[in-house]
Amino acid sequence: MNLVELTERLHSIRDRNDWRQFHSPKNLAMAASVEMAELVEIFQWLSEDQSRQLPPDALAHAGQEVGDIVLYLLLLCSELGLDMEQVVRSKLADSERRFS
Protein backbone atom coordinates (compact mmCIF):
# COMPACT_ATOMS: atom_id res chain seq x y z
CA MET A 1 0.00 0.00 0.00
CA ASN A 2 1.53 3.29 -1.10
CA LEU A 3 0.29 5.77 1.49
CA VAL A 4 1.73 8.77 -0.36
CA GLU A 5 -0.20 7.88 -3.52
CA LEU A 6 -3.41 7.26 -1.54
CA THR A 7 -3.04 10.59 0.25
CA GLU A 8 -2.44 12.42 -3.03
CA ARG A 9 -5.58 10.84 -4.50
CA LEU A 10 -7.55 11.85 -1.42
CA HIS A 11 -6.25 15.40 -1.67
CA SER A 12 -7.31 15.48 -5.32
CA ILE A 13 -10.88 14.51 -4.40
CA ARG A 14 -10.87 16.95 -1.47
CA ASP A 15 -9.59 19.83 -3.57
CA ARG A 16 -11.93 19.15 -6.50
CA ASN A 17 -14.89 19.33 -4.12
CA ASP A 18 -13.60 22.24 -2.01
CA TRP A 19 -13.77 20.12 1.15
CA ARG A 20 -10.52 21.29 2.76
CA GLN A 21 -12.46 23.96 4.63
CA PHE A 22 -14.16 21.12 6.52
CA HIS A 23 -11.04 19.00 7.08
CA SER A 24 -9.81 20.36 10.37
CA PRO A 25 -8.13 17.78 12.63
CA LYS A 26 -11.17 17.95 14.93
CA ASN A 27 -13.62 17.24 12.12
CA LEU A 28 -11.52 14.45 10.65
CA ALA A 29 -11.14 12.74 14.04
CA MET A 30 -14.89 13.01 14.56
CA ALA A 31 -15.60 11.64 11.07
CA ALA A 32 -13.28 8.67 11.69
CA SER A 33 -15.09 8.04 14.96
CA VAL A 34 -18.48 8.08 13.21
CA GLU A 35 -17.22 5.58 10.64
CA MET A 36 -15.87 3.40 13.46
CA ALA A 37 -19.33 3.46 15.03
CA GLU A 38 -20.78 2.32 11.70
CA LEU A 39 -18.30 -0.58 11.69
CA VAL A 40 -19.23 -1.49 15.26
CA GLU A 41 -22.91 -1.48 14.29
CA ILE A 42 -22.28 -4.36 11.85
CA PHE A 43 -21.18 -6.54 14.77
CA GLN A 44 -23.79 -5.39 17.27
CA TRP A 45 -25.72 -8.32 18.74
CA LEU A 46 -23.62 -10.98 17.00
CA SER A 47 -22.02 -13.81 18.90
CA GLU A 48 -18.25 -14.19 18.86
CA ASP A 49 -18.55 -16.96 16.26
CA GLN A 50 -20.97 -14.97 14.10
CA SER A 51 -18.62 -11.99 14.16
CA ARG A 52 -15.86 -14.21 12.73
CA GLN A 53 -18.07 -15.58 9.95
CA LEU A 54 -19.89 -12.61 8.46
CA PRO A 55 -22.12 -13.27 5.46
CA PRO A 56 -20.71 -11.85 2.21
CA ASP A 57 -22.85 -8.69 2.23
CA ALA A 58 -21.93 -7.85 5.83
CA LEU A 59 -18.26 -8.58 5.12
CA ALA A 60 -18.33 -6.21 2.13
CA HIS A 61 -20.02 -3.57 4.28
CA ALA A 62 -17.35 -4.01 6.98
CA GLY A 63 -14.67 -3.56 4.34
CA GLN A 64 -16.27 -0.32 3.18
CA GLU A 65 -16.32 1.03 6.73
CA VAL A 66 -12.69 0.01 7.33
CA GLY A 67 -11.78 1.84 4.12
CA ASP A 68 -13.62 4.95 5.29
CA ILE A 69 -11.79 4.87 8.62
CA VAL A 70 -8.36 4.47 7.02
CA LEU A 71 -9.00 7.27 4.54
CA TYR A 72 -10.10 9.67 7.27
CA LEU A 73 -7.01 8.74 9.29
CA LEU A 74 -4.79 9.42 6.27
CA LEU A 75 -6.37 12.85 5.90
CA LEU A 76 -5.96 13.47 9.63
CA CYS A 77 -2.27 12.57 9.48
CA SER A 78 -1.85 14.87 6.51
CA GLU A 79 -3.49 17.78 8.34
CA LEU A 80 -1.36 17.20 11.45
CA GLY A 81 1.87 16.71 9.51
CA LEU A 82 2.21 13.12 10.72
CA ASP A 83 3.71 10.34 8.63
CA MET A 84 1.17 7.50 8.97
CA GLU A 85 3.70 4.78 8.23
CA GLN A 86 6.13 6.20 10.78
CA VAL A 87 3.54 6.55 13.57
CA VAL A 88 2.27 3.00 12.94
CA ARG A 89 5.80 1.56 12.91
CA SER A 90 6.64 3.48 16.08
CA LYS A 91 3.53 2.24 17.87
CA LEU A 92 4.17 -1.34 16.71
CA ALA A 93 7.75 -1.19 17.98
CA ASP A 94 6.47 0.15 21.30
CA SER A 95 3.97 -2.72 21.53
CA GLU A 96 6.69 -5.24 20.70
CA ARG A 97 8.86 -3.85 23.52
CA ARG A 98 5.98 -3.82 26.01
CA PHE A 99 4.32 -7.12 25.18
CA SER A 100 7.03 -9.45 23.87
Is residue 1's pLDDT more than 90? no
Instruction: Give the CATH number for residue 59.
Output: 1.10.287.1080
Share of residues in the chain with pLDDT > 90 (%): 99
Query: Is 25 part of a structural domain of the chain?
Result: yes
Asked if residue 61 is part of any domain, the answer here is yes
Q: Extract long-range pairs of 11-15: CB within 8 Å, 24+ residues apart.
A: 11/78, 14/75
7, 72 contact by CB (below 8 A): no
Instruction: Give a yes or no: residue 97 inside a domain.
Output: no
Domain extent, residue 43, equals 3-89
Say if CB 84 and CB 73 are below 8 A apart: yes
> Torsions phi, psi of 17, nearest 5?
-105, 5
Cβ atoms of residues 58 and 38 within 8 Å:
no
Does the pLDDT of residue 96 top 90, yes or no?
Answer: yes
Name, in order, each residue with C-beta under 8 angstroms of 75's C-beta and a sequence gap of 6 or more.
Answer: 7, 10, 14, 23, 28
Question: What is the tally of structural domains in the chain?
Answer: 1
Residue 22 lies in a domain: yes
Q: Does residue 94 fall inside a structural domain?
A: no
Reported pTM: 0.94
Residue 37 has pLDDT above 90, yes or no: yes
